[in-house]
Copies of this chain bind each other. A is one copy, B any other.
């Protein structure tokens, strides 16, 4: 089997005005679709981060991908290494120290695994050692947000919306509003654990939100808060004392491996990260320092699905927990995340996903459906999803119209609060 064509399509889809420590989500989230086409007419797809730098990296290696046997992934990785121009290796705040190379290779690897799975008639999880679970639980990802639905609606709201569609566009800038958002999301999707994106309001209001969530959902629903490194070490310690017994894990309250390690010495809540340990190169120091107890993996930046299985082995070996990080994404990413989570025995926490926040889709059949807060592992060949070419064209044109060429939450935030700056720590 040989790859005879390789396509990279930037897309944009509506994204509500969600807040995080980095600022505000723009009305459109950017993403990139990668396709590899085999000489027997099959197409493998994947989805990765968006923006012109990501696309430039992917396009730069086109000649190294076309002509290859998709099974030869280690050799492809070896060939790409050093050939990715690292255009996308920019340290925007939201992406921290993500590296061009594993992102570029990972996107191609997932498309190749989809292609292999389709050719063999086996789901992708079977190429990763098979499934250890038939359904993958996800958590409710709760955001402080401004009113608005994103996309063409921008900061507007559809007065006819109801249920989750109404909650999705509602303002939520207080503890009480967050609880309403959580209730609507849990009612709609059945999630069994809650993650609060923090680092937005003063810590006391965010901790009050956690307390209200606990009161509303009871002691059996695990809670997490992720201030995205917006808190100082002292602030993180102080609020940890308030959060003791309430949190399943405490995600990146403070910036950097050293601060996280210092925090770990002073509190008993397990620490999780997708910021201070985002690559294999980060692992030796993270483990040596004892910075975290849980790694939030993400195949989009760890170098693909096989690399993520290898990360899982490292977590097993060093006794670290493993969960899964997400960015705004569509169903191709969700399917890949689900196959990966299905294949990893020690991925024992519900995974993060932004998926409920998006109303658009790019796969045939529309949005994938959660059942009781979990996604059934697709059983079809490859990722088990098919690209909807009409939707791809539409979302590509939307990308062109959006005028966005990279994610910049600070710039978006400044549109509503002139002079706003992303600061670490903010509190």
Residues of A whose CB lies within 8 Å of any CB of B are 69, 71-78, 120, 122, 126-132, 280-281, 283-284, 287-288, 306-307, 309-310, 313-314, 316-319, 343-345
Q: Which of the residues B72, B76, B317 comes within 8 Å of A280, measured between beta carbons?
A: B317
Residues of B within 8 A of A314 (CB): 310, 313-314, 317
The chain B residue sitting closest to A312, CB to CB, is B310
Residues of B within 8 A of A131 (CB): 72, 74-75
A150 and B138 alpha carbons, distance in the complex (Å): 60
What are 17 of the A-B contact pairs (CB < 8 Å)? Answer: A69-B130, A71-B126, A72-B126, A72-B130, A73-B129, A74-B129, A75-B131, A76-B130, A77-B345, A78-B345, A120-B120, A127-B127, A129-B306, A280-B313, A288-B288, A307-B313, A310-B314
In contact, A284 and B345 (Cβ under 8 angstroms): no
A376 and B309 alpha carbons, distance in the complex (Å): 28
Count this chain's copies in the assembly.
2
Given A313-B310, A313-B313, A345-B78 in contact, is the A284-B318 Cβ separation under 8 Å? yes
The 3 A-B residue pairs with the shortest CB-CB distance in the complex, in nearest-first order: A72-B130, A310-B313, A74-B129
A30 to chain B, nearest CB (A): 30
Residues of B within 8 A of A75 (CB): 130-132
Residues of B within 8 A of A73 (CB): 129-130
A222 and B132 alpha carbons, distance in the complex (Å): 44
Residues of B within 8 A of A281 (CB): 317
Residues of B within 8 A of A284 (CB): 287, 317-319
In contact, B313 and A74 (Cβ under 8 angstroms): no
Known: A73-B130, A74-B130, A120-B120. 8 other contacts (CB 8 A): A72-B126, A74-B128, A75-B130, A77-B345, A129-B306, A284-B318, A310-B313, A314-B314
In contact, B129 and A283 (Cβ under 8 angstroms): no
A132 and B280 alpha carbons, distance in the complex (Å): 21
Q: Which of the residues B78, B127, B129, B283 comes within 8 Å of A132, measured between beta carbons?
A: B78
A395 and B304 alpha carbons, distance in the complex (Å): 44
A373 and B280 alpha carbons, distance in the complex (Å): 34
A321 to chain B, nearest CB (A): 15
A249 and B306 alpha carbons, distance in the complex (Å): 30
The chain B residue sitting closest to A284, CB to CB, is B318
A32 and B307 alpha carbons, distance in the complex (Å): 32
Residues of B within 8 A of A343 (CB): 74
A318 to chain B, nearest CB (A): 6
Q: Which of the residues B76, B132, B283, B288 comes within 8 Å of A317, measured between beta carbons?
A: B283
Residues of B within 8 A of A126 (CB): 71-72
A347 to chain B, nearest CB (A): 11
Residues of B within 8 A of A283 (CB): 317-318
Residues of B within 8 A of A317 (CB): 280-281, 283-284, 314
A281 and B287 alpha carbons, distance in the complex (Å): 15
Q: Which of the residues B71, B74, B129 comes within 8 Å of A122, measured between beta carbons?
A: B71
Residues of B within 8 A of A344 (CB): 74
Task: Pick the most buried of A74, A127, A306: most chain B CB atoms within 10 A of its CB.
Answer: A74
A186 and B284 alpha carbons, distance in the complex (Å): 40
